Amino acid sequence: MSKEAETVFKRRKRSTTQITDNNEFNYTVYHTLEEIYKWITDTANENYMIASREQLSTSHEGRPVTAIKLGAPGNQGNKPIAYIQGGIHAREWVSPATMMGLVKQLIDGYNTNDKVKAMLDTFDWYIVPVLNPDGYSYTWTNDRMWRKNRRKPDGNVCTGIDLNRNYAYEWGGDGASPVSCSETYRGPSPLSEPEHEGVTSFLLEKQQTNGVHLFLDVHSYGQYWLYPWGYTGSKTVPLPDRRDLRSLAMAAEDAITAKHGMDYFVGESGPDFYPAAGASEDWGYGALGAKYTYVIELRDEGKYGFLLPETEIKYTVEEMFEALLVVGERLISEFGS
C-alpha cells in the first residue's frame, strides 16, 4: 500500500468509530463490518413494520451475508422483488456506505414521499450492503486495497477469488483469470463460493414464486451505469431488452446529473467498459432473468478512486436515490399490479 493510501486509510479508520453527537448512526463516514451488522439489526428492529433482516449466505470465514428487506406488508409474501447488492469487491467502501444511505432514504421517505411509498407498497426490496464480508473486514485490518474474498489457497499459491468473475454465466471467458494470484481469479468452478451460494439460490427461488425484476450490483469507481453483456468484450451479441435497458439507464443518469451535476457513462458492460466473463450483470440477466440488470460504478472518475473521501458519501447517496426513484417508477409501470 502506498504512503498516501495508508494515511487515508488510517484517518478513515479513526473517524468511522464515531457516532454523531446525538447518538444517531452517522451515514457520512465509512463503517466497519461490525458496525454495519449492528446497523442492519437496529434498522430492522426500529422499523419493523416495513423492514426486516434476512441472512442469505455465509462466507468462507463464517460471517453472514445479510440483506435488509424493505416493503410494506401485503399480498401474502407474493410481491415482486427488486434486489440491490454492494460490497462485492472489498476495497470499494463507498458501495456499502451508499447501500446504507439508500436504505435510510427509503425508510424515511415511506411516509413522506409518494414515489417511495409506491415502491415499497408494490415491491419487496432486498438490499445487501456487503456481499464480501471477509474481504471487507480484511481491508480494515490488513490491506486497504484488497479486492477478492478470503478463500484459502487450497493448493493454489494465493488467497482469494474475484466474486465478480465467479457467476455461473459464461464463466471462465475473457476478463476472468485461471491464475489464483490474479485480481480477477475466477475460482475453481462457477458459483464455487459460499458467499454466492445462498444469495443465488434465494434469488432463483424468488424468481419462480414472486418474480425478480431488478438486479443492481453497485461498485466503484468510474461513474458508469452499465447493462449486459460483460462476457462479450468488443463483440455485440443479441440483447432482447437492449432498448428498455438503455432507456432506463439514460433516465437514471439524467436524474443523477440533475441532482449534483455528475455525469455517468451509460453503455454495455463488455464493449463499453471491459470484458468480464462470469460477472454479476450477465448472471442477473442471462441466468436469473431479471429484466433490469445493471452494474453501477459510483464516484469518482479517478482522482481518488477507491479512496473516495467521506465527504463524497452524502452526495453519492443523494444522486443515487434520485436514480432509484426513476428505476422504481419504471418497475411499477411494467410489473406493478
Cell of 334: 411494467
The C-alpha cell of 253 is what?
443518469
Residue 12's pLDDT is 52
In the numeric block, which cell numbers belong to residue 17?
468509530
Domains and CATH numbers, the chain: 3-335 (3.40.630.10)
What gap in Å lies between CA 216 and CA 321, rounded to an integer? 13
CA 175/CA 172 separation, integer angstroms? 8
Give CA angle at 279 (154, 331), nearest 5°.
140
Q: What is the bridge-based pairing of β-strands 51-58 and 64-70?
A: antiparallel
- 241: burial class by Cβ within 10 Å (0-12, 13-18, 19+)? middle
Distance between CA atoms of residues 90 and 196, nearest Å: 15
Query: To which residue does cell 463460493 refer?
Result: 193
What are the φ and ψ backbone dihedral angles of 177, each rounded to 5 degrees? -95, 145
Dihedral, 102, 140, 150, 218 alpha carbons, nearest 10: 20
Quick one: pLDDT at residue 75?
Answer: 62
**Angle in degrees, 0-180, between the axes of helices 94-109 and 33-46, rounded to the nearest 10:** 10
3-class SS of residue 84: strand
To 5 degrees, how large is the angle CA 76–CA 48–CA 116? 75
Query: Which residues of the chain fall short of a pLDDT of 50?
Result: 1-5, 8-9, 16-17, 20-22
pLDDT, residue 133, reads 99
Gap between the terminal Cα atoms of the chain: 52
Give the three-class secondary structure for 85.
Answer: strand
Find residue 227's DSSP bridge partners: 268
Alpha-carbon span 65 to 69, nearest angstrom? 13
CA distance 100 to 78: 25
The pLDDT assigned to 21 comes to 43
Among 195, 253, 268, 297, the one annotated catalytic: 297
**pLDDT at site 199:** 98
297 is a catalytic site residue: yes
Residue 132: how many other CB atoms lie within 10 Å:
35
Contact between 317 and 86 under an 8 Å Cβ cutoff? The reply is no
